[in-house]
Chains A and B, each alone.
Chain A
Amino acid sequence: MKEYKQSFTKWQEQIQQELKKRPERKDTFQTSSNIPIERAYFPDKIDNAYIKSLGFPGEYPFTRGIRGTMYRGKHWTMRQYAGFGSAKETNERFRYLLDQGQTGLSVAFDLPTQIGYDSDDTMALGEVGKVGVAIDSLEDMEILFDKISLNQVSTSMTINAPAAVLLAMYIVVAEKQGVSKEQIRGTIQNDILKEYIARGTYIYPPKASMRLITDIFAYCSENVPSFNTISISGYHIREAGSTAVQELAFTLSNAVAYVESALEAGLDIDQFAPRLAFFFNGHNEFFEEVAKFRAARRMWAKLMKERFHAKNPKSWQLRFHTQVAGSTLTAQQPENNVVRVALQALAAVFGGTQSLHTNSKDEALSLPTEDSARIALRTQQIIAHETGVSDTVDPLGGSYYVESLTDELEAEAQKYMDHIDDMGGAVSAVEKQYMQREIHRAAYEAQKRLENEEDIVVGVNKFTVGDEQQPDLLKVDEAFVESQIERLNQIRKERDQEKVSDILEKLKKSAEGKENLMYPIIEAVKEYATVGEICHALRDVYGEY
């Protein structure tokens, strides 16, 4: 007993040290009835089992959170995914969201950008600017971040196959603003395995894709130390219809594959692991979701410490972004979605998320309008500032139900992960379509439960109303496509074509060899080579999946 008392005292002392550097939001926290709120609550007896499975907040295995003070210190980052049409329109939406109190940016790119086609490519027909902003050349990126200081915001970019290109553009735009590589903060999604599994924006075959990813890891660990080089995503796996256990297992299996690939490329674990970030789904089933986030942290900490022998505690910490589940939004009675979103977001907060995107109520119908995007942001502001849930760390910790679920999810996910290891790891499991099949089976079963009314979706298969009024929806102005293509042609005319061709040739050579591809890509971007041209050069070398 005594040693645990000591470790508790030690933990408290450490927190006091931290508080000197980073004080909490308030000197004291209390409820409306003046009951003081402790930083965290503990069992009467702190024993070995507690230390092993839960630990103190901010300490291994981080089940209760990655910081000792969590949201008492600072709320999660409110980061709303946005982007549509032209860079100029999206820039306006970004500045609106920042004015409204949003604390980080999150860029949605259109599908041609995500799959490495320029806006004038025949493959881009009908898709330009639809689900996100169209970026062809550095000029678009300059417009996108116009009047936004890149040393003031952190920016998350949902970009995978061409992640290196968009990161290069971001670095160059920052430099043009006078902001150094060391200063920029943000995340690129860069998680190609889940693209093959669930999201679909892959370009090259898995092995070539993995090389691009490790090149980014290596480049950033030397040059862009504050950028998260990957956001390993369960979000889309869940959206594709997986269960919570599958989301957990497949995401961590993918993470293991990235780690192994980076180790094979000769990187040191503690050099890149602290910059790995995660991205999970905030779904409907409240307690299971809370348990999922807690289990994820514990599993990752164990993996990193015990399997990969990482020494730096930062390598053990699973930091994650949450977006609430888009697939649970209903087109029927869209106002109900506000409530769904609030509850899902609350689960993410109880789960200790580092940043959060709350969906807009109209997203089952189209991209969100400015009004509904504001309500979505307000929803998490209300959770943060009005409910008091952020005044103590891991408030559900110790609940018999939540702790039991956390253990169960871990055990079930571990079974899947062992099976994937037996198959030769995530890359090989993806190539064999294993995860795709498992997810599809779960999705089909869920659909059948819904149609048999075993599962109830309010307003869809129960509690329906007649005469649904369709709300006002966001219309993306189609006319911009022409001007986007015009500007692209203008750039192609004005730039130094010979230089561009030379660099693209050089890029192909590097792709055949071993040189880190980030260097030639940055050079190419600076000369206004386009996303499509750079990706096509790599297609020539690697082929398409």
Chain B
Amino acid sequence: MDKIRVLIAKPGLDGHDRGALVISQALRDAGMEVIYTGLRQTPKQIVRAAVQEDVDVIGLSSLSGAHNVLFPEVLKELSRNEAEDILVFGGGVIPLEDIQVLEKNGILKIFTPGTSTKVVATYIEQAVAEHRGETPMLQTPPKRVDHIGIAVKSIEETAVFYSNHFHVNVETIAEVPDQGVRVAFLPLGNCKIELLEPLDENSPIHAFIEKRGEGLHHVAFEIDNIQQRLDQLKAEGIRLIDEKPKKGASGNPIAFLHPKSTYGALIELYESKQDAENEGGQ
């Protein structure tokens, strides 16, 4: 893989370049070639420098509130120069609602104050690798929610509730002794409800119910390339419960992320294999 080339730029008149300088240094330490434009660059100057230096990525930094005007102007200038293949990310003092708009309009990612430089470096490495076609696409959202896990004391009792009041019925029931659970799947649209019942007192589900009562336990996202996803998340500093995928109730590979890293939600990654498709469903 060729060295990643990055242009860090300060558009507009803002003179606060501590962040830009620190990011430049951190990306250099991560093995990238980094060019820093210095202060007070117009979007035209930034794009000219990016094209001349043949960079993969432009990083924009603004703390003066001019981002809504200047960042899109850089994108426009890139397209005028037929250089849209250069990825653009940004950072600085940028309110959340502006981030959504900027990302929707073509800024790849906005990093807010407090983001660790490691996250930024890992993100850029992955984004460039995907862009160059060197790795599978990992920076895409999960395909869908595969199922929602609910911890219950008794599958049979709970199933009656779903059947009587929502007219959703259990399709399969299976035991997964490895994990000390018995599970039932209830298909619902393109998703499923998974009821989890403890097999015995050593079951993690038993502990969960003891501590927090019955209720929502986890949410499972369907994704591709589960091992690469896990590696990427780990590199981004996310704590994993399973560093290698294990076999789930449906026979497909699954893995859990640690709720400490996910703001409290237990997230399961689930990869559906062609040959195993629909198993546990229908």
Do A and B actually bind?
A: yes
- Which chain A residues lie closer than 8 Å to B113 at the CB level? 330-331, 364
| Known interface pairs A123-B13, A200-B39; A111-B117 also in contact (CB < 8 Å) | no
Report if B266 contacts A (CB, 8 A): no
Binary flags per residue of A94-129, CB closer than 8 Å to B gives 1, else 0:
000000000000000001101101000011111100
A269 at the interface (CB under 8 A from B): no
Structural contact, A131 and B95, CB atoms closer than 8 A: no
| CB atoms of B18 and A365 under 8 A apart | no
Residues of B close to A502: CB separation below 8 A: none
Q: In A124-139, which residues have CB < 8 Å from any B CB?
A: 124-127, 130-131
A366 lies within 8 A of chain B by Cβ: yes
Taking the nearest CB of chain A, how far is it from the CB of B74, in angstroms? 11
Q: Which of A125, A330, A332, A451 contacts B73 (CB 8 A)?
A: A125
> Which of B22, B26, B70, B263 lies in contact with A125, CB distance below 8 A?
B70
Scan B27-42; emit 1 where CB is below 8 A from any A CB, else 0: 0000000000001101
Any chain A CB within 8 A of the CB of B131? no
Shortest CB–CB separation between residue A184 and chain B, in angstroms?
Answer: 28
Interchain CB contact under 8 A, B13 and A115? yes
State whether B42 touches A200 (Cβ < 8 A): no
Query: Would you call A411 an interface residue if the criterion is a C-beta within 8 Å of the partner chain's C-beta atoms?
Result: no
Within 8 A of A (CB), among B50-83: 64-70, 73
Residues in B236-266 with C-beta less than 8 Å from chain A = 263-264
The answer to whether A366 and B15 have CB atoms under 8 Å apart is no
Please indicate the chain B residues that have their CB under 8 angstroms from the CB of A473 in the complex.
Answer: 95
Known contacts A125-B73, A447-B26, A476-B65, A440 near B21 by CB under 8 Å: yes
Please classify the interface of chain A as helix (H, G, I), strand (E, B), loop, or mixed, using the class held by over half of its residues.
loop
Chain B residues 112 to 126 lying within 8 A of chain A, measured CB to CB, are: 112-114, 116-118
Contact B12 A470 (CB under 8 A): no
Q: Is the CB of B12 within 8 A of A467?
A: no
Does chain B have a CB within 8 A of A199?
Answer: yes
Kindly state the separation between the CA atoms of A383 and B146 in the bound complex, as whole angstroms: 56
Given A130-B66, A239-B18, A367-B65, verify A123-B40 contact (CB < 8 Å).
yes
> What residues on A are CB-neighbors of B40 within 8 Å?
115, 123, 200
- Judge whether B13 and A124 touch: CB under 8 Å: yes
Q: Does B14 contact A (CB under 8 A)?
A: yes
Tell me whether B114 and A443 are in contact (CB under 8 A). no
> Which residues of chain A are near B26, meaning CB under 8 Å?
444, 447
A401 to B118, CA, bound (A): 37
Contact A444 B12 (CB under 8 A): no
Asked if B132 is at the interface (CB within 8 A of a chain A CB), the reply is: no
In the assembled complex, how far is the CB of residue B272 from the closest CB belonging to chain A, in whole angstroms? 28
B42 touches A123 (CB 8 A): yes
In residues 419-465 of chain A, which contact B (Cβ within 8 Å)?
A: 440, 443-444, 447, 450-451, 457, 460-461, 465
Would you call B232 an interface residue if the criterion is a C-beta within 8 Å of the partner chain's C-beta atoms?
no
A201 and B12 contacting across the interface, CB-CB below 8 Å: no
Whether A131 contacts B70 by the Cβ 8 Å rule is no
Chain B contacts of A497 at CB under 8 A? Answer: none
* Bound CA span A367–B264, Å: 31
Given A122-B42, A447-B117: A470 and B22 interface contact (C-beta under 8 Å)? no
**Interchain CB contact (< 8 A) of B22 among A114, A195, A239, A443:** A443
Query: Complex formed: what's the CA distance from A124 to B95 in Å?
Result: 21
8 Å CB contacts to B: which residues of A41-77?
A: none
Task: Find B12's partner among A111, A327, A365, A457 (CB 8 Å cutoff).
Answer: A111
Of residues A127, A239, A332, A366, which shows the largest number of chain B Cβ atoms within 10 Å of its Cβ?
Answer: A127
Q: How far is the CA of A440 from the CA of B65 in the complex (A)?
A: 24
Contact assessment for A444 and B114 in the assembled complex, using a CB-CB cutoff below 8 Å: no
Given contacts A125-B12, A331-B113, contact A240 B18 (CB under 8 A): yes
Tell me if B65 and A331 are in contact (CB < 8 A). no
CB contacts (< 8 Å) of A447 on chain B: these are: 22, 26, 117
Determine if A225 is an interface residue (Cβ-Cβ < 8 Å). Answer: no
Q: What residues of B have a CB within 8 angstroms of the CB of A465 in the complex? A: 263
Contact of B17 with A by CB under 8 A: yes
Most chain A C-beta atoms within 10 Å of own C-beta, residue among B12, B15, B22 = B15
Shortest CB-to-CB span from A543 to chain B, Å, is 15
Does A466 reach chain B (CB closer than 8 Å)? yes
Chain B hits for A123, CB < 8 A: 13, 40, 42
Question: In the assembled complex, how far is the CB of residue B36 from the closest CB belonging to chain A, in whole angstroms?
Answer: 11
Contact of A127 among B66, B73, B118 (CB under 8 A): B66
Q: Within the complex, what minimum Cβ distance (angstroms) separates B244 from chain A?
A: 27
Q: Bound state CA distance, A130 and B13, in angstroms?
A: 11
Q: Chain B's nearest CB lies how many Å from the CB of A488?
A: 18
Closest A residue to B43 by beta carbon equals A125
**B37 CB → nearest A CB, Å:** 13
Decide: B42 and A444 in contact? CB cutoff 8 A.
Answer: no
Q: Contacts A125-B73, A366-B95; is A331 near B114 (CB within 8 Å)?
A: yes
- Asked if B234 is at the interface of the complex by the 8 Å CB criterion, the answer is no
Within the complex, the shortest CB–CB distance from B103 to chain A, in Å, comes to 16
Instruction: Say yes or no for A241: interface residue by CB 8 A criterion.
Output: yes
Residues from chain B with Cβ under 8 Å of A200 in the complex: 14-17, 39-40
Q: How near does chain A come to B97, taking the closest CB pair, in angstroms? A: 8
Which B residue sits closest to A473, measured CB to CB? Answer: B95
Do A365 and B95 touch across chains, with their CB atoms under 8 A apart?
yes
Q: Which residues of A contact B69 (CB under 8 A)?
A: 125-126
Contact partners of B118 in chain A: CB under 8 A: 451
Residues 176-205 of B contacting A (Cβ, < 8 Å): none
Q: List 20 A-B contacts (CB under 8 A).
A: A125-B12, A125-B42, A126-B68, A126-B73, A200-B14, A200-B16, A200-B17, A241-B18, A364-B113, A365-B93, A365-B95, A366-B93, A440-B25, A444-B26, A447-B117, A451-B117, A451-B118, A470-B95, A473-B95, A476-B65
Known: A124-B13, A440-B25. 9 other contacts (CB 8 A): A125-B70, A130-B66, A131-B64, A201-B15, A365-B93, A365-B95, A440-B21, A443-B21, A467-B263
Top-9 shortest CB links A-B: A200-B15, A466-B263, A126-B69, A126-B66, A111-B13, A130-B65, A460-B114, A466-B264, A126-B70
